[in-house]
Amino acid sequence: MTIVMGIETSCDETGVGFVQDGVLLGDALASSMDEHARFGGVVPEIAARAHVQSMLPTVRKAVADAGITLADVGAVAVTAGPGLATALHVGVAAAKAFALSLGVPLYGVHHLAGHAAADTLEHGPLPDRSIALIVSGGHTSLLFVRDLVRTPIVHLSDTLDDAAGEAFDKVARLIGLPYPGGPSIDKAARAGDPTAVKFPRPLMGPNDPALGFSFSGLKTAVARYVEKHPDLDVNDTAASFQEAVADTLVTKALRACRRQDVSTLVVVGGVAANSRVRSLAQERCDAAGIELRVPPMRLCTDNGAMIAAIGDLLVRDGARPSPPTLGAIPTIELSSAQLDALSA
């Protein structure tokens, strides 16, 4: 019934989407990625300035894509956290202004819950129990998900240091490949031998946290290798590094599936676009009899549609709206999909 507007500004993407009863009506995205390229990573102040410039054009594009008018909107959902504080403030301010002006309820939501909800727009509702691996430049998290909005989401593990996507960026820089590192390493790796260099598999020892991730040690191993081999083969190095990351991610994700006794793995986030992560996950899921769900790329990376999706679930569940004093919550563990000032 209700058309839910979703707004996402937690990092460098300005995303706006419209969802109604689990169906994506339309969305639009703007990115400031190019402006960060020469800094080798996202600069919060640059991202925030770009969000201000992109907000209205993105809203207008999404409205046109959905074939609606803003007057049709019945609720507004926004990423309240976690993310870059300067960037989050822009989306939260816009969402609150839309909600106030349109006279509709406001829902502050958790960014990671949005990622987990993204796949429902493509493949329908999630089963009763599933594991979500959220892997991007900002996060590397394993979640145990039951009902996305009714049951607390169990945050099984996180990276202890760098996010997987961050490791791709840093390693790309080390071996002279362009930013962002994910696509450029993926491309170089296709021409390389993944067994050429034996890079360590981080946190895979018997005494390490079974579901934990860590990528800074792997990055250091690549740095040491680069130092020792000035005339290294870029493609082989890229392929071997990528294999180490994919192996670690998929091993831990399947371990989580076994531990929680679930038969569905959802992989989302920018790194889900990596061809080796996808193929290795498919291979091992097939072997283990686990259904692998990966939404299409445009729903994998940060976007407004996924925030509208979680908002839509909250609205249909009759959730209490967030207070008008909702603010940005830059650091917050995921326990429930909805975030507001009261839970901060």
Partner from another protein, Zn ion, none contacting 302, C-beta within 5 to 8 A by type: Zn ion
Among 11, 43, 113, 334, binds another protein (CB under 8 A): 43
Q: How far is the CB of 89 from Zn ion (least distance, A)?
A: 17
* Binding of residue 96 to another protein (CB under 8 A): yes
Q: Does 326 bind another protein (CB under 8 A)?
A: yes
Give the shortest CB-335-to-Zn ion separation in angstroms.
17
- Count of chain residues binding another protein (CB under 8 A): 41
My answer on whether omega of the bond before 180 falls inside 30° of 0, hence cis, is yes
SS (H, E, C) the chain: CCEEEEEECCCCEEEEEEEECCEEEEEEEEECHHHHHHHCCCCHHHHHHHHHHHHHHHHHHHHHHHCCCHHHEEEEEEEEECCCHHHHHHHHHHHHHHHHHHCCCEEEEEHHHHHHHHCHHHHCCCCCCEEEEEECCCCEEEEEECCCCCCCCEEEEEECCCCHHHHHHHHHHHCCCCCCHHHHHHHHHCCCCCCCCCCCCCCCCCCCCCCCECCHHHHHHHHHHHHHCCCCCHHHHHHHHHHHHHHHHHHHHHHHHHHHCCCEEEEECHHHHCHHHHHHHHHHHHHHCCEEECCCHHHHCCCHHHHHHHHHHHHHCCCCCCCCCCCCCCCCCCCCCECCHHHC
* Minimum distance of another protein from residue 92's CB (angstroms): 6
Binding part of the chain for another protein, among 21-29, 81-89, 183-191, 198-206 by CB under 8 A, reads: 81-89
Question: For residues 186 and 302, which CB has a smaller minimum distance to Zn ion in the complex?
Answer: 302
Q: Which stretch binds another protein (CB under 8 A): 89-97, 129-137, 209-217, 301-309?
A: 89-97
User: Which range, of 194-202, 254-262, 308-316, 322-330, touches another protein by CB under 8 A?
Assistant: 322-330
What minimum distance in Å lies between the beta carbon of 95 and another protein?
Answer: 8
Span 296-325, contacts to Zn ion by CB under 5 A: 302
Question: Is-contact 176 234, C-beta < 8 A?
Answer: yes
- Binding another protein by CB under 8 A: which of 51, 110, 219, 252? 51
Pick 82 or 105: Cβ nearer Zn ion? 82
Instruction: Check residue 90 for interaction with another protein (CB under 8 A).
Output: yes
**Closer to another protein by Cβ: residue 107 or 144:** 107
Instruction: Candidates 34, 39, 227, 288: give the one binding another protein (CB under 8 A).
Output: 39
What residues from 118 to 157 belong to the interface with another protein (CB under 8 A)? none
Question: Of residues 191, 317, 324, 333, which one binds another protein by CB under 8 A?
Answer: 324
Segment 249-268, which members bind another protein (CB under 8 A)? none
Cα dihedral sign for 46, 48, 53, 55? positive
Which positions lie near another protein, rule CB under 8 A? 38-41, 43, 45-46, 48-49, 51-53, 55-56, 59-60, 70, 85-86, 89-90, 92-103, 173-174, 324-328, 341
Which positions lie near Zn ion, rule CB under 5 A? 302
